Structure 1
Amino acid sequence: MAASAHVSKVRSLYKRILVLHRFLPIDLRALGDQYLKDEFRRHKAASSSEVKSFMTEWENYKDTLQTQVLESARGQLSSVKFGSHLPEGELGNFQGDQIGQLYELMLESTKSSRQFDIQEDGK
């Protein structure tokens, strides 16, 4: 029973984040969706301590993104910016491969010409 409750919680979080990604610019949505899928697949067989940290961080991401989406819908942001600043001190909590992955994500999300040439429906 506990395992099915956990699977349900993970699936619910995953789906909620995908819904929130619909409010991102189309190229960031594609990048975010792919990153989300890859990360959840990578952690399918993670230890219980890793899962706890993993779920906490993705819940924080969901909460941050949800707040930003709601603020942008209310027109409270003059120019919509998604994401948040990562304090330099928190980088010490990352492993080497995670810092590399974070750097690659930063490069991809700040490219002037994105990897994907995605156009919204009807355009």
Structure 2
Amino acid sequence: MLTQAQKVRRLYKTIMKLHRGLPQELRLLGNNYARDEFKRHKNCNPDEAKIFMNEWSMYAINLAEQLGLRGPHTSKTVGLELSNTDLDQFRDEQIQQLYELKLAAEQKESDKNT
């Protein structure tokens, strides 16, 4: 049976491996964001840890499905839309992080197009 720390480590490694299937710009952005989030939640309370693990597990499952078995060239579009209900459940700091992530992604896209 795995300890909680082992489960977190395994999920983190899985996410990093999945990110290898992303285009370089998204991989760097995703790796930095995941690393920051996992560090930020290192000492969270058990209720937050459960939510954190569930959400990142769903992210890993969705990303694996979107990337497909043969990598990004055979995959669907990467990403999901957030509903207003989802956004209403976010804390202010999470909304700010999401906005900063959006800006970083848009900047990477504009850099790529110039």
Is the TM value for this pair above 0.5? yes
Query: Residues 83-94 of structure 1: matches in 2 within 5 Å?
Result: 83-94=79-90
Residue matched to 2:93? 97
Structure 2, unpaired ranges of 5+: none
User: What TM-score do you get using the length of structure 1 for normalisation?
Assistant: 0.81
| Matching residue of 1:82 | 78
TM-score computed with the length of structure 2 as normaliser: 0.87
> How far apart, in 2, do the equivalents of 1:75 and 1:24 lie?
10
Amino acid at match of 1:32: G
Count of residue pairs brought into register by the alignment = 110
CA contact (8 A) 2:21 2:71 kept: no
Structure of higher CA gyration radius: 1
In structure 1, the residue matched to 2:16 is 18
8 Å CA contact 2:19, 2:31 repeated in 1: yes
Selected match of 2:57 from 44, 56, 59:
59
Contact preservation (8 Å) 2:67, 2:74: no
CA drift at 1:107: 1.2
Change (3 A) 1:8 1:100: same
RMSD (Å) for aligned C-alpha atoms: 2.0
Percent identity over the alignment is 41
Instruction: Provide runs of 4+ in structure 1 moved above 2 Å.
Output: 71-77
Report which structure shows greater RCO (CA 8 Å, sep ≥6). Answer: 1
CA distance in 1: counterparts of 2:32 and 2:86, whole angstroms: 24
1:120 aligned partner: none
Q: Aligned partners of 1:81, 1:74: CA distance in 2, in Å?
A: 9
Query: Per the alignment, do residues 54 and 76 of structure 1 end up closer, same or farther by CA in structure 2, a change over 3 Å counting?
Result: same
